[in-house]
Amino acid sequence: MDWSKIKTIFILTFLVLNVYLLYEYFTVVQAKEQETEFPLSSTLEEKLKDDDISYDANIFTTEEVSGQLLRATPKEFEKDELKSLNGEDIKVDGGVEYIFDVNKPLMKVSEDFDPKELESFIQSQVLYGNEYRFWEKKGNTITYYQTYQEKIIYQNKNAELTFFLNENNEIVSYTQTYLETIEPIEDDQKLIKPPSEALSSLYNSGKIPSGSKVSEPELGLHTYVDMSNLQVLTPAWRFVIDGEYSLYVHGFELNVLELNKNENKTME
pLDDT attached to residue 104: 78
Identify the three-state secondary structure at position 44. Answer: helix
> Are 53 and 131 contacting, i.e. CB atoms less than 8 angstroms apart?
no
What per-residue confidence (pLDDT) applies to 230?
A: 87
Query: Which superfamily does CATH assign the domain made up of 40-69+185-264 to?
Result: YycH protein, domain 3-like (2.40.128.690)
* Homologous superfamily assigned to 74-182: YycH protein, domain 2 (3.30.310.160)
Supply the pLDDT for residue 226: 83
Residue 208's Cβ-side half-sphere holds a number of Cα atoms within 13 Å equal to 31
What pLDDT was estimated at residue 2?
Answer: 53
DSSP one-letter string for 125-156: HSTTGGGEEEEEEETTEEEEEEEETTEEBTT-
The confidence score (pLDDT) of residue 46 equals 86
- What lies within 8 Å, CB to CB, of 216 at 6+ separation is 56, 58, 59
Burial 68-80 (b: 16+ CB within 10 A, else e): bbbebbbbebeee
pLDDT given for residue 248 in this prediction: 95
How far is residue 161 from each of residues 66, 87, 167, measured CA to CA in Å? 28, 16, 20
Output the pLDDT for position 201.
92
Walk along the chain (268 residues) and give the pLDDT tens digit of each residue. Answer: 555 545 544 543 454 344 334 434 443 444 444 344 444 455 888 888 889 999 888 788 778 889 999 999 999 887 777 777 765 577 777 677 878 877 778 889 998 899 999 999 999 889 999 999 999 999 999 999 999 999 999 999 999 999 999 999 999 989 999 999 999 998 888 999 999 999 999 999 889 999 999 988 999 999 988 887 888 999 999 999 998 899 999 999 999 987 754 444 444 4
The pLDDT value given to residue 13: 46
Q: What SS3 state is found at 244?
A: coil
Q: What is the pLDDT of residue 87?
A: 59
Domain positions in the chain are: 40-69+185-264, 74-182
Residue 30, pLDDT score: 40
